[in-house]
């Protein structure tokens, strides 16, 4: 039977790095679905298309070839064959991704692509709507969260290491703005699926979070 693990959660809950580690332990691929919305957001910014203009973004999305590959160093994300992996982690692209992800037609296209990839091979997907929409029948479903201040603190430390100048207050505000937009959008807002297991990582170490998720997967797989 296909092994599909679904992890949802808000900005900065550590989904990406935790998901990488869990997938490696399980020997399966990790699909970072946020990277696809980021690829679309980046392209809108580059082409000067207003991310608030739903019709323009839907038109852009329709004609755009977004794809991913899994390499030794993790997932690479492509737009029209160009590797944009190194360009999609800026605060501007984060907010653009969050904005374009509000549109139903955009979500439909991304969900379809994600479901196709997950059907082809054993895979762990992380995002906002994986448990609720993309993989409602996943083997295990997890909602990974942490207090907003803790998530902002982690993100700020990461940004400092990369030499980015943003202050903690700015990062906290950006986390709250994106939470607000992701949780209150009309189409498939971020929420914990009824049958997803809650993991609150506020007072947990990275290894504890990985172990907790692996235990949930084992339990669901073998009961």
* Contact positions vs ligand DC (CB under 6 A): 11, 33-34, 37-38, 94, 97-98, 101, 127-130, 178, 182
Minimum CB separation of residue 189 from ligand DC in Å reads 9
> Rounded to the nearest whole angstrom, what is the least distance from the CB of residue 125 to ligand DC in the complex?
8
DSSP conformation letters of the chain = ---EEEEE--TTSSHHHHHHHHHHHHT-EEEETHHHHHHHHHHHHHTT--TT-HHHHHHHHHT--EEEEEETTEEEEEETTEE-GGGS-SHHHHHHHHHHTT-HHHHHHHHHHHHHHHHHS-EEEEESSIIIII-TT-SEEEEEE--HHHHHHHHHHHHHHTT----HHHHHHHHHHHHHHHHH-SSS-----TTPEEEE-TT--HHHHHHHHHHHHHHHHH-
Q: How far is the CB of 54 from ligand DC (least distance, A)?
A: 15
Q: How far is the CB of 21 from ligand DC (least distance, A)?
A: 16
Q: Which is nearer to ligand DC, 69 or 215 (CB)?
A: 69
**Best CA proximity match to 150, nearest among 7, 20, 14, 16:** 14
Phi, psi values for residue 79, rounded to 5°: -120, 120
Closer to ligand DC at the Cβ: 26 or 106? 106
The angle, 0 to 180 degrees and rounded to 10, between the axes of the packed helices 54-62 and 104-120 is 30
Closest CB 115 distance from ligand DC, rounded Å: 12
For the CB of residue 26, give the shortest distance to ligand DC in the complex, in Å.
20
């Amino acid at each position: 039977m296909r092994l599909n693990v679904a992890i949802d959660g808000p900005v900065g809950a550590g989904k990406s790095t935790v998901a990488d580690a869990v997938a490696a332990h399980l020997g399966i691929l990790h699909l970072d679905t946020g990277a696809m919305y980021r690829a679309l957001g980046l392209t809108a910014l580059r082409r000067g298309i207003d991310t608030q203009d739903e019709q323009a973004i839907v038109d852009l999305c329709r004609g755009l070839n977004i794809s991913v590959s899994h390499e030794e160093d993790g997932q690479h994300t492509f737009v029209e064959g160009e590797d944009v992996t190194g360009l999609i982690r800026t605060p501007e692209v984060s907010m653009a991704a969050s904005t374009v992800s509000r549109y139903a037609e955009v979500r439909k296209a991304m969900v379809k692509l994600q479901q196709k990839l997950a059907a082809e091979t054993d895979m762990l997907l992380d995002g906002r709507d994986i448990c609720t929409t993309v993989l409602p029948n996943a083997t295990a479903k997890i909602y990974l969260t942490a207090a907003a201040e803790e998530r902002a603190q982690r993100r700020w430390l990461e940004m400092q290491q990369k030499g980015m100048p943003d202050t903690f207050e700015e990062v906290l505000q950006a986390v709250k703005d994106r939470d607000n937009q992701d949780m209150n959008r009309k189409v498939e807002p971020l929420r914990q699926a009824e049958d997803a297991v809650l993991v609150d990582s506020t007072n947990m170490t990275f290894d504890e979070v990985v172990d907790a998720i692996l235990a949930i997967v084992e339990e669901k797989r073998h009961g």
